[in-house]
Amino acid sequence: MDLPITPELKEEVARFRLAFCCEHCLHFADEPGACDLLYPVAPHRRAAFERPPPGARLVFCKMFEAR
Ligand code: SF4
> Any idea where the domains of the chain sit in the sequence?
2-59
Nearest CA among 44, 14, 49 for reference residue 28: 44
**CB atoms inside a 10 Å sphere around CB 40:** 10
C-alpha 5/C-alpha 39 separation (Å) is: 22
Kindly give the distance from the C-alpha atom of residue 45 to the centroid of ligand 1, in angstroms, as a whole number.
9
pLDDT digits (tens, 9 = 90+) for 6-63: 999 999 999 999 999 999 999 999 999 999 999 999 999 999 999 998 888 999 999 9
Closest approach atom of ligand 1 to CA 26: 4
Global confidence as pTM: 0.89
Cα–Cα distance between 56 and 54 in angstroms, integer?
A: 6
pLDDT for res 49: 94
CA 54 – ligand 1 centroid, Å: 23
**Ligand 1 mutation pick, 20, 22, 58, 60, max ligand atoms within 8 A of CB:** 22
